[in-house]
Amino acid sequence: MRPAPLPVRDGLGAARVRLHGGAVLAELTTRFGEQARAKVLAGEVVDAAGAVIDEATVLPTGASVYLYRDLPDEVPVPFDIPVLHRDDDIVVVDKPHFLATMPRGSHVAQTALVRLRKELGLPELSPAHRLDRLTAGVLVFTTRREVRGAYQMLFARGEVRKTYLAGAAVDPALVFPRLVRSRIIKRRSHLQAVCEPGEPNAETLVELLSPDGLYRLTPRTGRTHQLRVQMASLGLPIIGDPLYPKVIDVPAGDFSTPLRLLAQRIEFDDPFTGSRRMFLSRRTIEVGSGGGHDDAG
**Residue 212's pLDDT band (cuts 50, 70, 90):** very high
**Residue 158's pLDDT band (cuts 50, 70, 90):** very high
CA-based nearest residue to 221, from 203, 197, 233, 205? 203
Nearest-angstrom CA–CA distance, 228 and 185:
13
Tell whether the model's pLDDT for residue 191 goes beyond 70.
Answer: yes
**Residue 1's pLDDT band (cuts 50, 70, 90):** low
Q: How many CB atoms lie within 10 A of CB 152?
A: 17
**Residue 296's pLDDT band (cuts 50, 70, 90):** very low
Mean pLDDT, residues 227-254 taken together: 95
Mean pLDDT, residues 16-28 taken together: 96
- The separation between CA 19 and the C-alpha centre of its own chain, rounded to angstroms, equals 28
pTM over 0.85: yes
Mean pLDDT, residues 194-199 taken together: 94
Tell whether the model's pLDDT for residue 244 goes beyond 90.
Answer: yes
Tell whether the model's pLDDT for residue 291 goes beyond 50.
Answer: no
Tell whether the model's pLDDT for residue 295 goes beyond 50.
Answer: no
Residues 6 or more apart whose Cβ sits within 8 Å of residue 67: 6, 14, 15, 17, 36, 39, 44, 45, 46
* Identity of the amino acid at 44: E
Tell whether the model's pLDDT for residue 231 goes beyond 90.
Answer: yes
Pinpoint the alpha helices (H) of 111-144: 112-120
Nearest-angstrom CA–CA distance, 281 and 164:
10
List, in sequence order, every residue forming a beta bridge with 59; answer none if it has no partner: 22
C-alpha distance from residue 50 to each of 1, 18, 36, 60 (Å) = 15, 15, 17, 16
**Residue 293's pLDDT band (cuts 50, 70, 90):** very low
Determine which of 51-60, 67-76, 241-250 has the lowest per-residue pLDDT on average. 67-76
**Total residues found in the chain within this entry:** 297
Tell whether the model's pLDDT for residue 197 goes beyond 90.
Answer: yes
Q: Could you tell me what percent of the chain has a pLDDT over 90?
A: 88
Mean pLDDT, residues 234-250 taken together: 96
**Where is 185: in which H helix or E strand?**
strand 184-185
- Positions marked active-site: 132
Residues 6 or more apart whose Cβ sits within 8 Å of residue 210: 287
Q: Is 97 helix (H, G, I), strand (E, B) or coil?
A: coil
